[in-house]
Amino acid sequence: MTWVHLCIDMQRMFAEPTPWQVPWMAKISGQVVELAGRFAERTVFTRFLTPQHGSQMPGRWHEYYAKWECMTRENLPDELLNLVPELGCFVPPARVFTKTTYSPWVSGHLHQILTHEHVDTVVITGGETDVCVLAAVLGAVDLGYHVIIPADAVCSGADDTHDSTLDLLGSRFSVQVEVSSTEQILSSMR
């Protein structure tokens, strides 16, 4: 098995008081730090980059950023787009992959890199379980990766949809997706 730790959007704009804050991101950060710290060379952090202006995005993204204009780069301090400090310290050797949509797979660039490195498994952590993590998992499944999700290292702003998403992924996609714990993953990766 050749694997990477794909950590989704653990950024200051989701950790700090903004309209997009995910309050219980702090609860999972210890597990994410543990994985990234032990395997920094195998870690890829995604960073959700909002547009300067909503008009720069295609289709329904215009309406999305009309609603969330306060989160465009025109209005958001640049430093809030950065990884949380406790994870940013692992770069390098960890890598950062910038994306402008929920899924990190849309451009094809990340898949191309991982294919070149013969990666067949992605351990996905971060937030939010029912948005960007879900998009990352389903994209990875579509591309043929084995996906491992440590349930204690993903978070959401909504408990119900977090739980439902993990249940769905663990049961409906059980051949392609494994829901585990950080401890089990660390034990198996030693």
| Model confidence pLDDT, tens digit, residues 97-107 | 999 999 999 99
Reply yes or no on whether the pLDDT at 30 is more than 70: yes
Six token digits for residue 90: 């692992």
Reply yes or no on whether the pLDDT at 75 is more than 90: yes
Identify the domain containing residue 93 by its residue range. 3-189
Q: For residue range 115-135, what is the model confidence (pLDDT) as tens digits?
A: 999 999 999 999 999 999 999
Q: For residue range 5-24, what is the model confidence (pLDDT) as tens digits?
A: 999 999 999 999 999 999 98
Residues 6+ apart with CB under 8 A from 189: 3, 38, 39
Reference 130, options 146, 154, 149; nearest CA is: 154
CATH of the domain at 83: 3.40.50.850
Predicted TM-score of the model (pTM): 0.96
Compute the distance between CA of residue 183 and CA of residue 152 in angstroms, rounded to an integer: 9
Structural domains counted in the chain? 1
Give residue 190's pLDDT band: very low, low, confident or very high (50, 70, 90).
low
The share of the chain scoring above pLDDT 70, in percent, equals: 99
Reference 67, options 77, 81, 57; nearest CA is: 57
Residues 6+ apart with CB under 8 A from 159: none
